[in-house]
Structure 1
């Protein structure tokens, strides 16, 4: 039976559109009935030609996007031809589902990821943090690019995700994206969570993630030695911006607080401990465990320095902490000015507290673990493993005995 089949790419503007990019959609029409599919791409409406349904221009990014749309168009025509050859009734929905590699009424992989992300979005601040959601949004982008590269589709039936898919996705991230092992394994594990939710919802029949063999590896944890720490702490900066970032960084070096914990730190978290001195009492954002940290003199000086700071007083914060992105950006400047050939980040400060400030000065690992808010002392032991200096110092005492 002859049918009227057509394919159109178009921009889907929001009702309140003012400026910016708009998403590109595919519209499949059969005998006047339409089905739409998102292409996972967008563009500026001023660069879009309604007549050709493509971008206008000759630059490389325009050529790449137009080539991508050509590839999608070819895949849709192929799906249509397969239905014709199989003798299946041609409808817009049938072509759409054939193109997506799924059957009518089933669910796609990106549909499952988006459903998960929408629910997590509503829970940010209620048990989840924005950073966790961002990782799943990145996973969505990786999966979209992988399926287009490997299967030449923008999405597929979630039931088609099997052991081979997971292994191929693992290989794709390592080879095409040049990702490190731990990053790859975390992405595949996040995909495993999506698949388990699909299993609970009855969208898939088997948890193929159980056969995935990827494992994270222990990595070296960089930290500042005593000389480097003193160099940064004693450096005079002309810029108030760099002075404040330096103070926040050094404060973390002497308290072991992670970025999100020092960002949320308020005066109410400073209380007298059982020794009559000032302590930090807070719950870690990441693990929800309680941290009790006696304040060392350097940390006290920094804290008192900002007691009357207008920004801190107005916001109710203990220190003027910028965004994590800005903090790490300014720390790079500080490292260059101090002549330190290490990539300074907010987490390096936490490692420095665990090693240079505490373990190397004889603080028991159990106490360090409690101050860091670790849920398992084995996590703290990772720091102890890299302390060759401590091993050397301990053995020097033994050498003296057997001299």
Structure 2
């Protein structure tokens, strides 16, 4: 339990002298250098008040009743100070004032509220939230604990005391100690802000520590492969089997849009056949549990056939022998060097390539691309998709006969 300074004093308001010559008696509660004041609901003649002793003078019944009332208030305030400090490890004068006025509700603690919020998010994963969002909230909570552990020994603190300064401190902590990029930092701050908004709505906080703080994410240019680069990968012959296998899986994702975790867990039951004999991938995204459908072109079907008897596939019951993501990305760097591709290949670039080069650049509608990627809105798909010069050129070629003709002279 932390140490805390505490005092109670009584004084009169000489400026509020009534017609009867009496003035109100006020109570001042001070805790750790902060104070608040409230009325004692008692009045006393100015000449019958001793400021040095903080009490009414004389032996009259009125004076005795006033002093008993003041002693009772002092005792209640002192007891409240000790109890709040023992139970919560923290107390301020405003809490004691609310207690004396009968308005006190148990103060909510920051980490307690954050943990309750995250538990609620966990129960809604797959319904309203994906696992990535849940993990981001958990990391935000963990990082805030780490920051506070360097500043104080207290295990928790009242959420009403979360200040503007603490918000700025957390920004600095994320940038310097965790070395996160600007957009990642903003996502963590949005997690914290959501907990703050929840607390403001419930009356657990009265001051918004995010007031005046605005964030602007840096626009990220998503890397993707052009069709010549895709063909260069397809045509390259590898003498190293592991590189050939990783290349094939990467290209499978380029032609299907699957994210790493989805291709890693792709199983025979995820392949369906429609009434026309066309094969489809029908699966729920591991990240969001949103169902998606992708028709399989001839090339990805060839890749599936190539690895159907691979020992790793038989062992796992999967369709492709996918390594760990870190290992896949490491091998992709080697593959890029062999193929003369200057871009830093990762498994997720395959998904961007599907959205941009394979589909949108070939006039597949954005709405259809969105469904194949398992997005819940086209706004999400727009982050993946890029307008390519070839697509722009085709559009301009289409309208050229309409606008580029030379007008006949009259």
Q: TM-score range by the shorter chain?
A: 0.5 to 0.7
Quick check: 288-297 or 121-130, which moved more? 121-130
Please give the residue correspondences for 1:21-36 in structure 2 after superposition, counting only pairs within 5 Å: none
Shift of 1:195: 3.6
Give yes or no for the alignment of 1:80 onto 2:3: yes
* Equivalent-residue separation in structure 1 for 2:6 and 2:239 (angstroms): 71
> Are the aligned partners of 1:256 and 1:351 in contact in 2 as well (CA < 8 Å)?
yes
Quick check: 321-330 or 114-123, which moved more? 114-123
Deviations 1:254-286 (A, max 9, x none): 001122222232111211235421111223334
Aligned match of 2:361? 360
Output the aligned Cα RMSD.
Answer: 4.0
Deviations 1:287-324 (A, max 9, x none): 44332211111111111112222322332212122333
Aligned match of 1:390? 391
Change (3 A) 1:233 1:99: farther
Change (3 A) 1:98 1:210: closer
Q: How many residues align?
A: 326
Aligned match of 1:97? 89
Change (3 A) 1:341 1:187: same
Aligned match of 1:219? 220
Aligned match of 2:148? 147
Quick check: 120-129 or 336-345, which moved more? 120-129
Aligned match of 2:272? 271
Give yes or no for the alignment of 1:135 onto 2:136: yes
Please give the residue correspondences for 1:241-320 in structure 2 after superposition, counting only pairs within 5 Å: 241-320=242-321
> Are the aligned partners of 2:131 and 2:288 in contact in 1 as well (CA < 8 Å)?
no
Shift of 1:350: 0.8
SS of the equivalent of 1:254 reads: helix
Shift of 1:349: 0.7
> Are the aligned partners of 2:222 and 2:352 in contact in 1 as well (CA < 8 Å)?
yes
> Are the aligned partners of 2:285 and 2:292 in contact in 1 as well (CA < 8 Å)?
yes
SS of the equivalent of 2:256 reads: coil
> Are the aligned partners of 1:272 and 1:278 in contact in 2 as well (CA < 8 Å)?
yes
Aligned match of 2:110? 109
SS of the equivalent of 1:222 reads: coil
Aligned match of 1:342? 343
* Equivalent-residue separation in structure 2 for 1:94 and 1:254 (angstroms): 62
> Where does structure 2 lack aligned partners over 5 or more consecutive residues?
8-29, 33-77, 97-105, 406-410
Change (3 A) 1:82 1:379: same
Quick check: 161-170 or 89-98, which moved more? 89-98
> Are the aligned partners of 2:175 and 2:181 in contact in 1 as well (CA < 8 Å)?
yes
Deviations 1:90-143 (A, max 9, x none): 89965982499x989645433444455567678878987654444234313421
> Are the aligned partners of 1:283 and 1:290 in contact in 2 as well (CA < 8 Å)?
yes
Give yes or no for the alignment of 1:372 onto 2:373: yes
Deviations 1:343-401 (A, max 9, x none): 22222111100111111122232322222222222333344554233213432454576
Shift of 1:190: 1.4
* Equivalent-residue separation in structure 1 for 2:384 and 2:124 (angstroms): 33
SS of the equivalent of 2:281 reads: strand
Aligned match of 1:322? 323
SS of the equivalent of 1:292 reads: strand
Shift of 1:337: 3.2
* Equivalent-residue separation in structure 1 for 2:260 and 2:228 (angstroms): 23
Q: Choose 1 or 2 for highest CA Rg.
A: 2
Aligned match of 1:11? none
Change (3 A) 1:82 1:298: farther
Deviations 1:2-51 (A, max 9, x none): xxxxxxxxxxxxxxxxxxxxxxxxxxxxxxxxx6xxxxxxxxxxxxxxxx
